[in-house]
Amino acid sequence: MATTKLEIVKAGFHAFNERGVDGVLPIIDPEFEVTTPPELASEPDTYRGHEGVRRYFDSFYEVMDEIRWEAHSFEEVGAKVIVPYTLHARGKSSGLEFGQNAVMVWELRGDKAIGLEIFETVEEARTAAGEEEGGNPAG
């Protein structure tokens, strides 16, 4: 069983890639919240709890198949875990491969994720994680 923040987030990535949204829900706290930023989402919105996570992925699965996250690294900064990643998917009707690079910043309480922020760059993610922790950004 995963015990550190890094292990929990890594397990969540693996579970999502193996079983989709049902795989990642066990690490999602009922108070979880994520807002998709307009620069990275065609329909920016805020999603809360398990229902919100399902709603986000339901809209995605309407047009995409074979959705998976490819993590490039995992970095712990205070209570946060920074994960640069590529979202891979295939268009349902077109069959075309799609990839989008972004950076997730996971916030955990105990063994559950309570928040997720998404950024365009690692620098933005580190700055946000460092500022929220009240310290200097990791460099």
Higher pLDDT pick, 78 / 5 = 5
Q: Where are the domains of the chain?
A: 5-132
**What pLDDT sits at residue 2?**
59
pLDDT tens for each residue of 35-71: 988 888 877 899 999 999 999 888 888 888 889 999 9
Residue 52, helix vs strand vs coil? helix
Backbone angles phi and psi of 6, in degrees to 5: -60, -45
Fold annotation for 5-132: Nuclear Transport Factor 2; Chain: A, (3.10.450)
**What pLDDT sits at residue 137?**
40
Query: Taking all residues of the chain, what is their mean pLDDT, rounded to a whole number?
Result: 90
Range name among 1-5, 44-48, 49-53, 124-128 with the lowest pLDDT average: 1-5
Backbone angles phi and psi of 110, in degrees to 5: 65, -130
Within its chain, how far is the Cα of 121 from the centroid?
A: 14
